[in-house]
């Protein structure tokens, strides 16, 4: 707007117009943005408070992100620790079983073969794997001497022993793979009734009969220990697999952060640098590593002394694991609580911020309308003043009204 400087009335009118235009502009900005402080050039106390509130809300949000990450971390830890608990519990069972088996070994004084009766209802297939779980195998009768040793442990029933022709019908072998040379069949046996008898039974008389390997149960079987062609017993290999699994958990990570390397966890939750802290879980600690570290020859459960020591180590690890899981659980709870508090604070701040900044539409619209009228009037005044410098009095009058 061009202003004729010498015309005082025009000058004053121009100023009025500028002010009125600015007010209209401001109102328009507020109304369109919905924000009370849309004009940053003119911060009020409320505007400063609002900006502080916004800052706090941002920091709280960062705090909440930290907490969310920490919670996921803890939950991942717990998931793995649960698996570790299952593995350790099974390792304990295996160590216990190995103690039973190997104690028997020591009683018999070493390498000698030895037969024992195991009672209980088994099919031949079940008896075979049960014997293996005990670190032995179904009895293989390879001589008259073996035959009488087996008969000596029997208790008046008929039992399973380790013969089978399941690979080729009619070709009987022992479970260690050796072909049968000594035989003690009952008269007319093996008769392979209905083409389905592939497993070896020893009658109370000591004579042999073929029976189905599955779906037929006897009240026990004769197990054979000793003079193993040093094949690794089932409990040893199962323990070894579980040990490797527990050990492997130690190197698990979450977002590249090691889960179980024992470092202290710290999460800052707000701007006052309040932080939650918890001790680390260390799966490499001796309490755990003793359960998954084999002896110098790679064995875990060789001999009853070793099995017994292993059992104690597993017990210790299980106790430690219970404490560790409690620690992780407590930390997760703390995080959850802190997160709830932060959510509440954020909500409250947001409400306050809303009260501070939200535009009162009714009030502002009225102001907008008034300012617009003033501006139109001022425009008209300026136009008049520019043309008629002599009508000063009328202009002043108009201004007063």
Site residues (CB under 6 A) for ligand MAN? 189, 191, 193, 197, 209-211
Nearest residue to the partner Ca ion, using Cβ: 210
- Which of residues 11 and 192 has its CB atom nearest to Ca ion in the complex? 192
105 binding partner (options ligand MAN, Ca ion, none; Cβ < 5 to 8 Å by kind): none
Of 168 and 401, which has the nearer Cβ to Ca ion? 168
- Give whichever of 210 and 236 is closer to ligand MAN, judged by the CB atom: 210
Nearest distance from residue 207's CB to ligand MAN, in Å?
A: 11
Q: Which of 191, 343, 351, 366 binds Ca ion (CB under 5 A)?
A: 191
**Number of Cβ within a 10 Å radius of residue 343:** 13
Nearer to ligand MAN, 35 or 217 (CB): 217
Which among ligand MAN, Ca ion, none contacts residue 9 (Cβ within 5 to 8 A by kind)? none
CB of 184 to ligand MAN, least distance (A): 14
Q: 267: which 2 tokens? A: 């999460």
CB of 211 to Ca ion, least distance (A): 6
Residues in contact with Ca ion, shown as a per-residue x/- string from 334 to 363 under the rule CB under 5 A: ------------------------------
Query: At its nearest, how many Å lie between ligand MAN and the CB of residue 186?
Result: 8
39 or 216: whose CB is closer to ligand MAN? 216
Query: Does 106 contact Ca ion by CB under 5 A?
Result: no
Please report how close the Cβ of residue 188 comes to ligand MAN at its closest, in angstroms: 7
Closest Cα to residue 221, out of 230, 211, 229, 231?
Answer: 211
CA distance 164 to 175: 7
Closest distance between ligand MAN and the C-beta of residue 197, in Å? Answer: 5
**209 vs 304 by CB, closer to Ca ion:** 209
Q: Rounded to the nearest whole angstrom, what is the least distance from the CB of residue 217 to Ca ion in the complex?
A: 16
- Comparing CB distances to Ca ion, the nearer of 165 and 197 is 197
**Residue 158 interacts with Ca ion (CB under 5 A)?**
no
Residue number, 13 or 158, with CB nearest to ligand MAN: 158
The distance of closest approach from Cβ of residue 183 to ligand MAN in the complex, given in angstroms and rounded to an integer, is 15
Q: Which residue is nearest to ligand MAN (CB)?
A: 191
**Cα Rg, the chain, nearest whole Å:** 45
Footprint (CB under 5 A) of Ca ion, residues 192-231 = 197, 209-210
Provide the minimum distance between the beta carbon of 199 and ligand MAN in the complex, in angstroms, as a whole number. Answer: 10
Q: Kindly determine how many residues on this chain lie close enough to bind Ca ion according to the rule CB under 5 A.
A: 4
For Ca ion, the closer CB: 203 or 299: 203
- The whole-angstrom separation of Cα 235 and Cα 222 is 19
- Which residue(s) pair with 253 in the sheet? 258
Residues in the site for Ca ion, rule: CB under 5 A? Answer: 191, 197, 209-210
């Amino acid at each position: 707007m061009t202003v004729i400087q010498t015309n005082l009335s025009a000058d004053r009118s121009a100023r009025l117009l500028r002010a009125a235009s600015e007010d209209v502009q401001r109102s328009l900005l507020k109304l369109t943005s919905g924000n009370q402080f849309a004009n940053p050039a003119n911060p009020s106390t409320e505007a400063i408070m609002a900006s502080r509130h916004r800052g706090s809300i941002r920091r709280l949000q960062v705090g909440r992100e930290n907490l969310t990450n920490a919670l996921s971390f803890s939950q991942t830890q717990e998931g793995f620790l649960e698996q570790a608990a299952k593995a350790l519990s099974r390792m304990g069972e295996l160590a216990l079983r190995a103690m039973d088996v190997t104690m028997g070994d020591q009683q018999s004084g070493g390498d000698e073969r030895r037969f024992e009766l195991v009672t209980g209802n088994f099919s031949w297939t079940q008896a075979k794997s049960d014997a293996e779980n005990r670190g032995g195998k179904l009895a293989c009768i390879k001589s008259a001497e073996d035959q009488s040793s087996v008969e000596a442990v029997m208790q008046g029933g008929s039992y399973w022993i380790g013969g089978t022709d399941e690979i080729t019908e009619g070709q009987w072998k022992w479970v260690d793979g050796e072909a049968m040379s000594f035989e003690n069949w009952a008269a007319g046996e093996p008769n392979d009734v209905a083409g389905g008898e592939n497993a070896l039974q020893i009658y109370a008389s000591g004579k042999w009969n073929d029976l189905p390997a599955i779906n037929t149960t006897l009240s026990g079987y004769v197990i054979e220990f000793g003079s193993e062609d040093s094949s690794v017993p089932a409990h040893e290999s199962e323990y070894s697999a579980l040990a490797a699994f527990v050990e492997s958990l130690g190197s698990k990570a979450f977002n590249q952060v090691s889960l179980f390397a024992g470092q202290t966890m710290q999460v800052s939750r707000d701007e006052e640098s309040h932080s939650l802290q918890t001790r680390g879980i260390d799966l490499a600690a001796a309490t755990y590593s003793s359960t998954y570290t084999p002896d110098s020859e790679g064995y875990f459960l060789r001999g009853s002394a070793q099995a017994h020591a292993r059992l104690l180590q597993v017990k210790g690890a299980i106790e430690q694991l219970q404490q560790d899981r409690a620690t992780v659980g407590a930390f997760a709870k703390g995080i959850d609580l802190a997160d709830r508090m932060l959510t509440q604070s954020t909500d409250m701040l947001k409400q306050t911020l809303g009260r501070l900044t939200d535009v009162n539409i009714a009030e502002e619209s009225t102001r907008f309308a008034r300012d617009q009228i003033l501006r139109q009037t001022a425009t008209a005044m300026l136009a008049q003043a520019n043309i008629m410098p002599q009508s000063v009095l009328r202009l002043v009058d108009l201004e007063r009204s």
